Chains A and B, each alone.
Chain A
Amino acid sequence: MKIVVCVKQVPDTKGGVKFKPDGTLDRAAMLAIMNPDDKAGLEAALRIKDEDPDNTEVTVVTMGLPKADAVLREALAMGADKGLLITDRVLGGADTWATSSTIAGALKNMEYDLIITGRQAIDGDTAQVGPQISEHLGIPVISYAEELSVDREAKTVTVKRQFDDRYHILKAKLPCLVTALSELNDPRYMTPGGIFDAFQKEVTVWGRDKLDVADENIGLKGSPTVIAKASDKVAKGKGEVVTPETPQEAVDYIAGKLKEKHVI
């Protein structure tokens, strides 16, 4: 069974977001990490591999700048078999449509039974690239996976698919694309041996010429959506913060404000 996991390198927002003195976001000051939903997707793939290691191959794919090699090395250290970095200047500035057609263009030149992506990345939060890749490839998609298992004989995948007030247990024929929620599992850590291996293993690098996609569907030019205006949000004007001596003083303060605003 061949599993491809798509991952994205994103700035870490967990340790707090860093701002420059002028109030704009300081991306360079934040650590670059593997997107959490993608990591859960990778863990799901590795668990399928654990069931039958000799007959399962996990390939990790990312698209980005050359430095995105780091997330592929991390994935290899966790236990993935192969890494593929899609990088080319002509691919820059892509929206979700162009990104998904580019990644689909790489997948068309690869073998896969199951493709796993994260539901969404913590920088863009769109949740669009996974379903869009599946459409470009003409294969079924199951989004928001909370649990996942494959039947190698029957060539099917069974997924617990989360909705707002329910879940569905869905079964799809392979090949299929599944988008993973970080609730799916707790990803394993890299092992020392794995880290050593990660730097022995080869990461394949593909430029634009290796992709099965038309020029009008990649990069900035292939993006139907265009940014009209972007700004780092100006933090809301800070309100009052008080440190009352007693609970009663705190209560009087809050009640006073609620009366002032005609809430009570």
Chain B
Amino acid sequence: MGLEEYKGVCIFAQQVDNKISNIAFELLGKARDLANDLDNKQVSAVLIGSDVVGLADELAEYGADRVIVVDDPALKEYRTEPYAHALASVINEFKPEIMLVGATAIGRDLGPRVSARIHTGLTADCTQLDIGDFPLQPLPGKEDEQKHKQLLMTRPAFGGNTIATIACPDFRPQMATVRPGVMQKIAPNKGAKAEVVCPKYDFTENACYVTIEKIVKEVSSVANIQDAKVLVSGGRGIGGPENFKILEDLAACFKGGMVSCSRAVVDSGWKPKDMQVGQTGKTVRPHVYFAIGISGAIQHVAGMEESDIIIAINKDENAPIFDVADYGIVGDLNKIVPELTKKIQEENAAKA
């Protein structure tokens, strides 16, 4: 493999129902950063779907220099095989040195299938990406074997208890999936244009194509908890779905305040899955995270520990949530939360 043939940074611009997913913009933001540290500074977005070419401008506004559009009726809905064929074909033709994919329910299926097909490494669920040397320190006597300008991919494992930095020194592209909500998108540059290329590939059905029998969209709450500035998050300790009212009242006191929850709450059927924070839910990093009646299992903590300020209220002084909280309050949430809401409402009123 001629590694030097591979140039520039590419991202998979996920779209669903011909609407670009937020993760695509986040990946573009990171791709721009990474490209600035590389010799070839071109950032490309791969847009796969049916009748999607009109979405290219939006990707340009968020930092794409070039948009590679694979447009075919077979790509209308996500299916593993035609999407893997499209992305693998783009990689083989355009040869990016870095390929980033969102760690979504689509990307975590597409990424591994493509990496196996083109024979390169894939690092899952990265939370940090840098350009640097591999090995990090040159081995004594082997200084000239150290490779430069490599993608260093950092990810948590073991429910967030260990972190590893991984490189892919001998294969290209260097592929990573990135968790939504972790990277920052840039402020859109209105009116920006990208070079648009539309390669054609063959999507004749084969045994690997599956048939979509039915599509059921689940009602999701209007707002995305990943966009919240303040999250008021409830756990099993809330006691029941009706008691979430006191959390909603508290969240309403803050601009950009929303309610989220732990897995136990979703498992009990009190709240829908799109409100869940944690390993199997969403990763959030609000300015303030209130963990109320949440014990703090490591899977939950993995999804919220990057929050700027963590305030925990729990009646159990031994709850592990107090290990990650900046401010922990041992007490009865049913008494404290309504009083806190009242207090903040008063403060807000005094300022108005």
Q: Are A and B associated in one complex? A: yes
In the bound complex, residues from chain A placing their C-beta under 8 Å from that of B340 are 250-251, 254-255
* Complex CA distance for A226 and B136, rounded to whole angstroms: 12
- CB distance B326 to A240 under 8 Å? yes
Q: How many A-B Cβ pairs are below 8 Å?
A: 258
If A100-B116, A142-B210, A263-B230 touch, does A233 touch B162 (CB 8 Å cutoff)?
Answer: yes
Interface 1/0s, chain A 247-264, versus B by CB < 8 A? 110111111011101011
If A127-B108, A254-B340 touch, does A225 touch B122 (CB 8 Å cutoff)?
Answer: yes
- CB distance B344 to A264 under 8 Å? yes
**What's the nearest-Cβ distance from chain A to residue B113, in Å?**
5
* Complex CA distance for A248 and B329, rounded to whole angstroms: 12
If A223-B121, A233-B163 touch, does A243 touch B331 (CB 8 Å cutoff)?
Answer: yes
| Range of interface residues on A (Cβ < 8 Å) | 35 or more
The answer to whether the Cβ of A134 comes within 8 Å of any Cβ in the partner chain is: yes
* Complex CA distance for A167 and B322, rounded to whole angstroms: 37
The answer to whether the Cβ of A50 comes within 8 Å of any Cβ in the partner chain is: no
In the bound complex, residues from chain B placing their C-beta under 8 Å from that of A126 are 112, 124-125
- CB distance A225 to B327 under 8 Å? no
Q: Which of B116, B159, B310, B336 is close to A247, meaning CB atoms less than 8 Å apart?
A: B336
In the bound complex, residues from chain A placing their C-beta under 8 Å from that of B134 are 226, 228
Interface-forming stretch among B29-37, B47-55, B166-174, B194-202? Answer: B166-174
Q: Which residue of B lies closest to A249 (CB)?
A: B331
The answer to whether the Cβ of A112 comes within 8 Å of any Cβ in the partner chain is: no
The answer to whether the Cβ of A131 comes within 8 Å of any Cβ in the partner chain is: yes
Q: Which residue of A lies closest to B334 (CB)?
A: A247
Q: Which residue of B lies closest to A97 (CB)?
A: B121
The answer to whether the Cβ of A236 comes within 8 Å of any Cβ in the partner chain is: yes
If A128-B124, A247-B335, A248-B339 touch, does A140 touch B81 (CB 8 Å cutoff)?
Answer: yes
B residues near A, CB below 8 A? Answer: 16, 77-81, 84, 104-106, 108-109, 111-113, 115-117, 119-125, 134-136, 152, 156-171, 207-218, 220, 230, 254, 274, 279, 287-288, 298-299, 305, 309-311, 313, 317, 320, 322-332, 335-336, 339-340, 343-344, 347-348
What are 22 A-B pairs with beta-carbon distances under 8 A? A13-B298, A97-B121, A127-B112, A128-B112, A128-B115, A135-B113, A141-B80, A141-B109, A143-B105, A167-B216, A168-B215, A225-B122, A226-B166, A232-B162, A235-B323, A239-B310, A247-B331, A247-B332, A253-B327, A254-B311, A254-B336, A259-B347
A residues near B, CB below 8 A? Answer: 11, 13, 16-17, 25, 95-97, 100-101, 122-132, 134-136, 138-144, 158, 162-173, 176, 223-233, 235-236, 238-244, 247-248, 250-255, 257-259, 261, 263-264
